[in-house]
Amino acid sequence: MDVIINGINGRMGRVVLETLTEEADVTVVAGFDKFAARDDDPPCCGTRIPVYANMNEYVGNADAIIDFSHFSTVPELMRYAKTVGIPVVVATTALGNEAWEAMRDAARTTPIFHSPNMSLGVNIMAKMGKTAMPALEANYHVEIIEKHHAQKADSPSGTALLLADAINEVCADRKDYLYGRHGTHDSCKLSDLGIHAVRGGNLPGQHTILFAGPDETIEITHTVYSRRVFALGALKAARFVAGREAGLYSMDDVI
């Protein structure tokens, strides 16, 4: 399986490269990154990978592109994928309307995969929340708490919103998202779904769904100890999407 990594010189791009190099049936044939000049030295795995600041300069093919870059680059990547017909796994978060429109447009002719979190465990957690919610909705408050390191730029995390959306999807009465709590007149309504972000130090990524009901609580927590889990999830997604018909796919399809 031949793979291109978009954002190869970034923190996650390097983790993906290292992880994919360990797979006997996977070859990283190229990388795309605006900091292509950083590839003057061999990458972390001792293998020299051609890196292009302009993805249109790459002459070749691949079975899939794995994207861990920046939301601002996604529209350009979708235009490229649409032109060359290579499936893309979009693991970049904090996507805006322009990126989503570009993905939907590309998905008309090309297989596009997107998940706010590439961890299989997080996506199983979302399904657990969806399973529990119908039985708890009438009497249980729902709060989502997420913790990340101090360098994380967006809050709440895309994963927190993934979990909130999964729960809201099965609610008989859709909940209103409440980002953090403050003040002296918070009535904590059952119709609210509280989402809280914690940032500091080098905290590992952690997400908790809290169901707080009469005389009992239920907590579902997922903690990430290594970025490798996201690389492995992206590889699983790439294996899934390679050779598929055009469309917009998600981790639900993999599960």
Q: Active-site residue numbers?
A: 148, 152
Q: DSSP for 21-68?
A: HT-TT-EEEEEE-TTGGGGGS--TTS----EESSGGG--S--SEEEE-
- Across the strands, what pairs with 179? 195
158-169 and 120-136 helices, crossing angle to 10° = 40
Cis peptide bond prior to 156, omega within 30° of 0:
yes
What single DSSP character describes residue 110? S
CA–CA dist 255, 238 (Å, integer): 14
CA–CA dist 148, 180 (Å, integer): 15
Parallel, antiparallel or unpaired: strands 176-179 and 192-199: parallel
To 5 degrees, how large is the angle CA 91–CA 218–CA 215? Answer: 155
CB-based contact 73:7 (threshold 8 Å): yes
What single DSSP character describes residue 240? H
Q: How far is CA 124 from CA 117, 196, 220, 252, in A?
A: 11, 21, 11, 9
